[in-house]
Amino acid sequence: MTVLLTLAIQSLNQLLEDGSVDVLDVPQLSSEKLDLRGVMIDAEHLSGWTIDSYDIFRNNADKANSPCLLVRDNTPMDLLGSKEASLERIQRLSVAAHRLGCNAIAITPKFPKEQNEVDTIVETIRFAMHGVERLELNLLLQPCDGLSSNPDEHIEIIKQIGGFRIGALPTFKYAGATGDGIDALRKLAPYAGGIVADFPSGSGKKKIDLMEGLKAVLEVGYSNTIAINYTGKGDAIKEIRKVARKMQKHFDGGK
Protein backbone atom coordinates (compact mmCIF):
# COMPACT_ATOMS: atom_id res chain seq x y z
CA MET A 1 0.00 0.00 0.00
CA THR A 2 1.29 3.47 -0.86
CA VAL A 3 0.74 6.70 1.04
CA LEU A 4 -2.49 8.43 0.07
CA LEU A 5 -2.67 12.22 0.37
CA THR A 6 -6.06 13.41 1.60
CA LEU A 7 -7.70 16.62 2.76
CA ALA A 8 -8.51 17.45 6.36
CA ILE A 9 -11.82 19.28 5.88
CA GLN A 10 -10.96 21.35 8.96
CA SER A 11 -8.58 23.24 6.65
CA LEU A 12 -11.61 24.81 4.97
CA ASN A 13 -13.48 25.84 8.12
CA GLN A 14 -13.33 29.55 7.30
CA LEU A 15 -14.71 28.91 3.81
CA LEU A 16 -17.43 26.68 5.25
CA GLU A 17 -18.38 29.25 7.85
CA ASP A 18 -18.64 32.16 5.41
CA GLY A 19 -20.69 30.06 2.99
CA SER A 20 -18.28 30.15 0.07
CA VAL A 21 -17.95 26.35 0.21
CA ASP A 22 -20.66 23.78 0.99
CA VAL A 23 -19.36 20.85 3.01
CA LEU A 24 -21.28 18.45 0.75
CA ASP A 25 -19.17 19.66 -2.19
CA VAL A 26 -15.79 19.27 -0.48
CA PRO A 27 -14.95 15.84 -1.99
CA GLN A 28 -15.27 17.28 -5.49
CA LEU A 29 -13.20 20.32 -4.50
CA SER A 30 -10.60 18.03 -2.99
CA SER A 31 -10.32 16.04 -6.17
CA GLU A 32 -10.63 18.73 -8.84
CA LYS A 33 -8.87 21.70 -7.25
CA LEU A 34 -6.36 19.99 -4.97
CA ASP A 35 -5.78 16.67 -6.73
CA LEU A 36 -6.22 14.81 -3.43
CA ARG A 37 -7.81 11.38 -3.22
CA GLY A 38 -9.80 11.35 -0.02
CA VAL A 39 -11.07 13.45 2.87
CA MET A 40 -11.05 13.37 6.66
CA ILE A 41 -14.17 14.91 8.17
CA ASP A 42 -14.46 16.14 11.74
CA ALA A 43 -17.42 15.41 14.00
CA GLU A 44 -18.26 19.12 14.14
CA HIS A 45 -18.95 19.09 10.39
CA LEU A 46 -21.68 16.48 10.85
CA SER A 47 -23.79 18.60 13.18
CA GLY A 48 -27.39 18.76 12.01
CA TRP A 49 -26.94 16.20 9.23
CA THR A 50 -29.82 13.99 8.17
CA ILE A 51 -29.59 10.52 6.65
CA ASP A 52 -29.92 12.21 3.25
CA SER A 53 -26.93 14.41 4.04
CA TYR A 54 -24.76 11.38 4.74
CA ASP A 55 -25.88 9.68 1.54
CA ILE A 56 -25.33 12.80 -0.59
CA PHE A 57 -21.85 13.31 0.83
CA ARG A 58 -20.89 9.69 0.25
CA ASN A 59 -22.27 9.71 -3.29
CA ASN A 60 -20.45 12.95 -4.06
CA ALA A 61 -17.26 11.47 -2.66
CA ASP A 62 -17.61 8.32 -4.74
CA LYS A 63 -18.26 10.28 -7.92
CA ALA A 64 -15.23 12.51 -7.28
CA ASN A 65 -13.00 9.53 -6.47
CA SER A 66 -12.29 11.24 -3.16
CA PRO A 67 -13.81 8.97 -0.49
CA CYS A 68 -14.35 9.89 3.12
CA LEU A 69 -11.81 7.73 4.94
CA LEU A 70 -11.97 8.95 8.52
CA VAL A 71 -14.33 10.65 10.96
CA ARG A 72 -12.35 12.48 13.64
CA ASP A 73 -13.59 13.81 16.97
CA ASN A 74 -11.30 16.59 18.21
CA THR A 75 -13.13 17.16 21.49
CA PRO A 76 -11.14 15.71 24.42
CA MET A 77 -13.11 12.72 25.65
CA ASP A 78 -13.52 11.99 29.38
CA LEU A 79 -13.83 8.21 29.41
CA LEU A 80 -13.33 8.18 33.17
CA GLY A 81 -15.78 10.82 34.39
CA SER A 82 -18.35 10.53 31.60
CA LYS A 83 -18.11 6.88 30.65
CA GLU A 84 -21.65 6.28 29.39
CA ALA A 85 -21.79 9.51 27.39
CA SER A 86 -18.39 8.74 25.88
CA LEU A 87 -19.39 5.22 24.89
CA GLU A 88 -22.57 6.56 23.31
CA ARG A 89 -20.54 9.14 21.37
CA ILE A 90 -18.13 6.49 20.08
CA GLN A 91 -21.12 4.47 18.91
CA ARG A 92 -22.66 7.46 17.12
CA LEU A 93 -19.34 8.27 15.46
CA SER A 94 -19.03 4.64 14.36
CA VAL A 95 -22.48 4.61 12.80
CA ALA A 96 -21.74 7.89 11.00
CA ALA A 97 -18.40 6.60 9.72
CA HIS A 98 -19.99 3.38 8.52
CA ARG A 99 -22.69 5.32 6.68
CA LEU A 100 -20.02 7.46 5.00
CA GLY A 101 -17.99 4.42 3.96
CA CYS A 102 -15.01 5.25 6.17
CA ASN A 103 -12.52 2.70 7.42
CA ALA A 104 -11.86 4.38 10.78
CA ILE A 105 -12.94 6.80 13.45
CA ALA A 106 -10.58 8.82 15.63
CA ILE A 107 -11.24 9.97 19.17
CA THR A 108 -9.21 12.17 21.51
CA PRO A 109 -9.34 10.53 24.94
CA LYS A 110 -7.86 12.20 28.00
CA PHE A 111 -5.45 10.08 30.05
CA PRO A 112 -4.48 10.97 33.62
CA LYS A 113 -1.09 10.05 35.02
CA GLU A 114 -2.41 7.58 37.62
CA GLN A 115 -1.92 4.05 36.26
CA ASN A 116 -5.05 2.61 37.86
CA GLU A 117 -7.15 5.27 36.12
CA VAL A 118 -5.37 4.60 32.82
CA ASP A 119 -6.16 0.90 33.25
CA THR A 120 -9.85 1.74 33.74
CA ILE A 121 -9.90 3.84 30.55
CA VAL A 122 -8.11 1.10 28.62
CA GLU A 123 -10.80 -1.39 29.67
CA THR A 124 -13.52 1.05 28.60
CA ILE A 125 -11.93 1.45 25.17
CA ARG A 126 -11.65 -2.32 24.84
CA PHE A 127 -15.37 -2.54 25.54
CA ALA A 128 -16.09 0.19 22.97
CA MET A 129 -14.03 -1.70 20.40
CA HIS A 130 -16.71 -4.40 20.15
CA GLY A 131 -19.13 -1.96 18.53
CA VAL A 132 -16.42 -0.41 16.35
CA GLU A 133 -15.26 -3.79 15.09
CA ARG A 134 -18.80 -4.97 14.32
CA LEU A 135 -18.96 -2.18 11.75
CA GLU A 136 -15.55 -3.23 10.40
CA LEU A 137 -13.94 0.04 11.45
CA ASN A 138 -10.63 0.86 13.06
CA LEU A 139 -10.37 3.06 16.16
CA LEU A 140 -7.56 5.61 16.23
CA LEU A 141 -6.44 7.56 19.28
CA GLN A 142 -5.42 11.16 18.67
CA PRO A 143 -3.08 12.70 21.26
CA CYS A 144 -4.08 15.61 23.45
CA ASP A 145 -2.67 17.44 26.46
CA GLY A 146 -1.66 14.98 29.16
CA LEU A 147 -0.24 11.47 29.05
CA SER A 148 -0.91 10.77 25.37
CA SER A 149 1.10 13.84 24.30
CA ASN A 150 4.17 11.72 25.12
CA PRO A 151 4.72 9.38 22.13
CA ASP A 152 6.12 6.56 24.30
CA GLU A 153 3.10 6.68 26.61
CA HIS A 154 0.76 6.90 23.64
CA ILE A 155 2.26 3.74 22.16
CA GLU A 156 2.09 1.95 25.50
CA ILE A 157 -1.62 2.74 25.80
CA ILE A 158 -2.26 1.32 22.33
CA LYS A 159 -0.33 -1.83 23.23
CA GLN A 160 -2.36 -2.21 26.43
CA ILE A 161 -5.64 -1.99 24.50
CA GLY A 162 -4.37 -4.49 21.94
CA GLY A 163 -6.01 -5.89 18.83
CA PHE A 164 -5.72 -5.36 15.10
CA ARG A 165 -8.17 -2.47 14.84
CA ILE A 166 -6.64 -0.05 17.36
CA GLY A 167 -4.05 2.51 16.34
CA ALA A 168 -2.78 6.05 16.63
CA LEU A 169 -3.61 9.23 14.76
CA PRO A 170 -0.41 11.27 15.15
CA THR A 171 -0.58 14.95 14.31
CA PHE A 172 2.26 17.24 13.34
CA LYS A 173 0.92 19.71 15.92
CA TYR A 174 1.34 17.38 18.89
CA ALA A 175 4.47 15.75 17.55
CA GLY A 176 6.05 19.18 17.27
CA ALA A 177 4.94 20.10 20.80
CA THR A 178 7.30 17.43 22.17
CA GLY A 179 10.28 19.50 21.05
CA ASP A 180 11.51 16.72 18.77
CA GLY A 181 8.71 16.30 16.30
CA ILE A 182 10.63 14.18 13.81
CA ASP A 183 11.53 11.62 16.47
CA ALA A 184 7.92 11.58 17.71
CA LEU A 185 6.61 10.92 14.20
CA ARG A 186 9.13 8.13 13.65
CA LYS A 187 8.01 6.46 16.88
CA LEU A 188 4.29 6.75 16.22
CA ALA A 189 4.18 6.04 12.48
CA PRO A 190 4.38 2.21 12.85
CA TYR A 191 1.24 2.33 15.03
CA ALA A 192 -0.62 4.91 12.95
CA GLY A 193 -3.80 4.29 10.99
CA GLY A 194 -3.49 7.82 9.62
CA ILE A 195 -1.41 10.95 10.11
CA VAL A 196 -2.54 14.58 10.19
CA ALA A 197 0.00 16.91 8.60
CA ASP A 198 -0.84 20.24 10.26
CA PHE A 199 0.77 23.30 8.71
CA PRO A 200 1.93 25.79 9.68
CA SER A 201 2.23 24.58 13.26
CA GLY A 202 4.57 25.49 16.08
CA SER A 203 7.65 27.64 16.01
CA GLY A 204 11.32 27.22 16.81
CA LYS A 205 12.08 23.72 18.08
CA LYS A 206 8.38 22.91 18.09
CA LYS A 207 7.96 23.48 14.37
CA ILE A 208 7.94 20.57 11.92
CA ASP A 209 8.87 21.11 8.31
CA LEU A 210 6.24 19.31 6.25
CA MET A 211 8.69 17.63 3.93
CA GLU A 212 10.98 16.56 6.76
CA GLY A 213 7.99 15.08 8.56
CA LEU A 214 6.90 13.28 5.41
CA LYS A 215 10.38 11.84 4.85
CA ALA A 216 10.59 10.73 8.49
CA VAL A 217 7.43 8.60 8.37
CA LEU A 218 8.31 7.14 4.98
CA GLU A 219 11.73 6.13 6.29
CA VAL A 220 10.11 3.90 8.92
CA GLY A 221 7.83 2.26 6.37
CA TYR A 222 4.61 4.21 6.85
CA SER A 223 2.10 3.42 4.08
CA ASN A 224 -1.32 4.77 4.91
CA THR A 225 -3.07 8.15 4.66
CA ILE A 226 -1.72 11.62 5.34
CA ALA A 227 -4.40 14.27 5.78
CA ILE A 228 -3.15 17.75 4.91
CA ASN A 229 -4.49 20.22 7.46
CA TYR A 230 -3.96 23.92 6.81
CA THR A 231 -4.09 25.93 10.04
CA GLY A 232 -3.13 29.36 8.74
CA LYS A 233 -5.22 32.41 7.87
CA GLY A 234 -4.30 32.74 4.21
CA ASP A 235 -5.84 31.28 1.07
CA ALA A 236 -6.42 27.70 2.21
CA ILE A 237 -6.94 26.24 -1.26
CA LYS A 238 -3.82 27.91 -2.63
CA GLU A 239 -1.65 26.82 0.30
CA ILE A 240 -2.93 23.23 0.32
CA ARG A 241 -2.47 22.90 -3.43
CA LYS A 242 1.13 24.08 -3.11
CA VAL A 243 1.92 21.58 -0.35
CA ALA A 244 0.09 18.70 -2.06
CA ARG A 245 2.06 19.20 -5.26
CA LYS A 246 5.34 19.30 -3.34
CA MET A 247 4.53 16.08 -1.49
CA GLN A 248 3.34 14.33 -4.63
CA LYS A 249 6.53 15.35 -6.41
CA HIS A 250 8.48 13.62 -3.65
CA PHE A 251 6.43 10.44 -4.12
CA ASP A 252 7.09 10.59 -7.84
CA GLY A 253 10.84 10.62 -7.28
CA GLY A 254 11.47 14.36 -7.15
CA LYS A 255 13.11 16.25 -4.31
Would you state the pLDDT for residue 19?
95
H-run or E-run covering 5 = strand 4-8
Domains for the chain: give ranges and CATH numbers.
Answer: 4-251 (3.20.20.150)
Residue 67: how many other CB atoms lie within 10 Å: 18
Residue-level pLDDT at 254: 60
| Residues 6+ positions from 77 with CB-CB distance below 8 Å | 86, 89, 107, 108, 109, 110
The span from the CA of 178 to the CA of 165, in Å, is: 26
% of the chain beyond a pLDDT of 70: 99
At residue 98, what are phi and psi to the nearest 5 degrees? Answer: -65, -40
**Has residue 245 got a pLDDT over 80?**
yes
Contact 65, 28 (CB under 8 A): no
Nearest to 168, CA basis, from 145, 191, 187, 149: 191
Closest CA to 91 of 115, 127, 55, 62: 127
For 49-89, the pLDDT digits (tens) are 999 999 999 999 999 999 999 999 999 999 999 999 999 99
Q: Model-level pTM?
A: 0.96
Q: How many angstroms from the chain centroid is the CA of residue 98?
A: 16
> Cα-Cα-Cα-Cα dihedral of 177, 178, 180, 185, to 10°?
-90
